[in-house]
Homo-oligomer: A and B are copies of this chain.
Amino acid sequence: MEVFAVPGLPEIREGDDLAALVAERVDLRPDDVVCVASTVVSKAEGRGAALDDFPASERAHEVARRLSELAGEEKDPRFAQAILEESEEVILDAPFVLAVTRFGHITVNAGIDQSNVPDHDLLLLPEDPTASAEALSGSLGCPVVVTDTSGRPFRHGQRGVALGWAGMPAARDWRGESDRDGRELGVTVQAVVDELAGAANLVTGEGDGGTPVAVVRGFAFGDHEGSDLLFRSTDRDVVRSALREWTWTPDHTTHHEG
């Protein structure tokens, strides 16, 4: 299996045909998996925004106030408003804002970026990353994963994750298969789109590399059942339940992100 970045992509702007820009630069094969950073999907889809697009509601002011009082973080109430508008639910509002996007992804600040966005204050995540992946996959003729870089509980640092996918299942379902002794497997569902997003992130990086698209060549999904469940629903997410019912106070933790 090979993973390489697509070279020479320009700065992406609203309305750009991302699929055409990629197809011009690499000879894709039907079993390649093209991993595209959500940053450029968002740019092409016109998801750049100004803070002034989000006049702060009472709730946004309250979120900003709590962050400032409890965590000492100054957040523009308009940024808080953008998070609220992009979210289905805020599951934690201090010491950072952890939100569920409308498409089910749980991440800090609803994934809204303030870096790598010229001409705009904010870059929102694609509205429906699976629809974005479907459009790209249709044009490119191969599976596509739309990725982001996101933090996670328990472990420091961020890593690549899948936000949307098309042309392949999200996961290999190993249930019903057996181990080297013919015993039932402990691991049941392998979230391959997240592993592909992580692999892609190793070559795209986070900085000014200018390489938002990676091709994974020679990945074989194999003869497994597929599953498209990736985001846990509320009633199956123990940690989400816990966070909903819990309130952070400053003596809980000294630091929060990173």
Residues on A lying within 8 angstroms of B by beta carbon are: 1-4, 11, 92, 95-96, 106, 113-118, 149, 152-161, 170-172, 174, 177-181, 183-192, 194-196, 198-199, 201-203, 205-208, 210, 219, 222, 227, 229-232, 235-243, 245-246, 248, 252-258
Contacts and interface: CB of A to CB of B under 8 A. Distances in A.
A108 to B, nearest CB: 9
B180 A208 contact: yes
Would you call the interface of chain A mostly helix, strand, loop, or mixed?
A: loop
Contacts of A118: 180-181
Contact of A205 (B2, B92, B222, B239): B222
A169 to B, nearest CB: 11
A256 to B, nearest CB: 6
A230 B149 CA distance: 16
Contacts of A115: 179, 181, 183-187
Contact of A239 (B153, B171, B222): B153
B187 A206 contact: yes
Given A156-B171, A172-B205, 17 more contacts: A1-B4, A96-B238, A154-B232, A155-B232, A156-B189, A156-B229, A157-B194, A159-B195, A177-B208, A179-B208, A180-B208, A195-B198, A196-B202, A236-B256, A238-B253, A241-B252, A242-B242
Given A159-B195, A208-B179, A219-B202, A253 B241 contact: yes
A90 B235 CA distance: 22
A152 B153 contact: yes
A170 B178 CA distance: 32
Contacts of A222: 205
Contacts of A157: 170-171, 188-191, 194, 227, 229-230
A205 B185 CA distance: 11
Contacts of A232: 153-156
A227 to B, nearest CB: 7
A235 to B, nearest CB: 5
A256 B229 contact: no
Contacts of A242: 239, 242-243, 246, 248
14 contacts: A1-B203, A2-B3, A95-B238, A115-B183, A116-B179, A153-B239, A154-B237, A156-B171, A156-B189, A156-B231, A158-B187, A190-B205, A196-B202, A239-B242
